Amino acid sequence: MTTYDRYLLKRFLYVCFVFTVAVLGLFIIIDGFTNLDDFQLRTEGGVTELVLLMGERYLYQSAMIADLAGPTIIVLSALCALALMLKQGEIHPVLAAGVPTYRWTIALPLGALVLNALLIANQELVLPVIAPYLQTHHGETVHDEQAIQPQYDPRWWIFVSGSSTIPGDQCIKKPEFLLPPTLVGDYLKLRAEHAYFYKQAGDNPAGWLLTNISPPLAQLELTELGRDALIPQENGTDVFITANLTFDQVCRQNSSPRLVGTPELIRRLQQPSASMMSRRAQLVHLHARLTRPILNLIGIFAVIPLIVRRERTSPMQQVTNIGLCMVTLSVLMGLSIGGQSLGQTGLLSPEQAVWWPLVASSAYVGWLSGVVRT
């Protein structure tokens, strides 16, 4: 990488950093002042507690904002970096010195790929871990009770419900597990004080630990499948039920596919789903997640010819070019969002809904390559 490439990359990353700080600051100010009363009610007027509670909330929310606004920030940063260089007269001397335009198509996409790698790490490693913190209401903590979303476990078809969930403990309060006849010979509702979810660890399967169950396990006439599904514990009052249903699927506020990693999303798609609409939305989100870096690169390749045009431009023409570029990017984004909406409603297959806007955008960007200044 030459000195010019490093300079262009540094300019791009600097603008991206400024935009990120501006977006996060704007969100914190607007959301914080709008919901300040909720925070004050929780902390009962204590200034230190108020600052700590708001700081904790927006520290976690910043990861979600980065995931939502990150792709847009990357493309707009490329636009602003090129527009600033053009305004300050830095492009003409470089072209006159024999540096070809395609050099911009190396540094800017390279920076975009690095930032997309950070967004992927945030999506796969950070968001699934902090998902309970992202879905609390203003002034609430992860140890407050939240509404439950009753679901069928796709492995045994046990219907899981309860009074509420506690995200911080991965727990259902006063759970009710409706066991099917394949497990106990007839439908039976198994109640408990709490149900704690445990992920798979080595040879230990994933499932739910029910404490102080009623009726006792000794009174149940388990079938052969039932003995595989319900594992008694040493104290005689608890039972572990192996299951594929995870905690975030029954926690109403944590069920968004955006908050789970790609392996978990694929695992859910490979299992029966309680709702075709939910399955279709997950499949669309999976395709959109896989194509997001490509769409980012397409946006950058659209920015370069629209900002650095072949025609000699006056200051007013530069403003027009920036406006045209913004309109073009809005149309490309609208195609992507519109396609995903059609896929979620079932009017298009998930593959067509996500990939046809990508193909159309690529063809348009390829046509734009003839108007770039060389």
Domain boundary at 204, 222, 255, which? 255
Q: And the tokens for 271?
A: 């299992």
Whether 46 has a pLDDT exceeding 80, the answer reads: no
pLDDT in tens, 151-191: 899 889 999 999 999 988 899 999 999 999 999 988 999 99
Band of the pLDDT at 309, cuts 50, 70, 90?
A: confident
130 and 162 assigned to the same domain? no
Looking at the fold, whether 42 and 92 belong to one and the same domain comes out as yes
Name the 3-class secondary structure at 239.
strand
Pick from 20, 12, 178: which is nearest to 107 by CA?
Answer: 12
Say if residue 212 is in the same domain as residue 327.
no
- The closest alpha carbon to 94, from 225, 2, 215, belongs to 2
**What is the Cα–Cα distance from 241 to 30, expressed in whole angstroms?**
45
Q: Tens digits of per-residue pLDDT, 63-88?
A: 999 999 999 999 999 999 988 888 88
Contact 63, 122 (CB under 8 A): yes
**15 in any annotated domain:** yes
244 plus 296 within the same structural domain: no
Helix 350-368 vs helix 315-345: crossing angle, to nearest 10: 160
pLDDT band at 359 (very low <50, low <70, confident <90, very high): very high
Say which range, 110-114, 120-124, 368-372, has the weakest mean pLDDT. 368-372
In a domain, 106, yes or no: yes
Is a pLDDT exceeding 80 seen at residue 202?
Answer: yes
CA–CA separation, 165 vs 195, rounded Å?
9
pLDDT for residue 274 is more than 60: no
Give how far Cα 168 sits from Cα of 47, 59, 251, Å. Answer: 25, 17, 11
262 in any annotated domain: no
Same domain, 111 and 163: no
User: Residue 373's pLDDT band (boundaries 50, 70, 90)?
Assistant: low
Given the structure tokens 């800017």, which residue do they identify? 108
Domain that holds residue 194: 151-255
User: How far is the C-alpha of 148 from the C-alpha of 169, rounded, in Å?
Assistant: 14
In a domain, residue 261? The reply is no
Q: Is there a single domain that holds both residue 7 and residue 88?
A: yes
* 273 pLDDT above the threshold of 60: no
- Is there a single domain that holds both residue 7 and residue 122? yes
* Range 276-279 contact pairs with CB under 8 angstroms and sequence separation of 24 or more: 277/344, 277/346
Same domain, 158 and 245: yes
For residue 85, tell me if it sits in a domain: yes
- In a shared domain, residues 8 and 127: yes
Nearest to residue 119, comparing CAs of 70, 174, 73? 70
Across the chain, mean pLDDT equals 88
- For residue 267, the tally of other CB atoms under 10 A from its CB is 13
Q: Are 203 and 120 contained in the same domain?
A: no
SS3 content of the chain, % helix, strand, coil (to 5): 65, 10, 25
Residue 335: CB atoms within 10 Å: 17
pTM of the model: 0.84
Instruction: State how far the Cα of 132 lies from the Cα of 135, in Å rounded to an integer.
Output: 6
Q: Has residue 142 been placed in a domain?
A: no
Task: Give 301 or 41, the one with higher predicted confidence.
Answer: 301
- pLDDT value of position 281: 87
| Per-residue pLDDT at 252 | 60
In a domain, 213, yes or no: yes
pLDDT in tens, 122-132: 999 999 989 88
Instruction: Check whether residue 304 and residue 247 sit in a common domain.
Output: no
**Coil, strand or helix at 148:** strand
Give CA–CA dist 256/329, Å, rounded.
27
Taking residues 362-369, what's their average pLDDT?
89
Asked if the model's pLDDT at residue 12 lies above 60, the reply is yes
**In total, how many domains does the chain have?**
2
On the question of pLDDT at 253 being above 60, the answer is no
Q: What is the structure's pLDDT at 168?
A: 86
Q: Is residue 145 part of a domain?
A: no
**At CA 218, angle to CA 213 and CA 222, rounded to 5?**
95
Q: Are residues 167 and 250 in the same domain?
A: yes
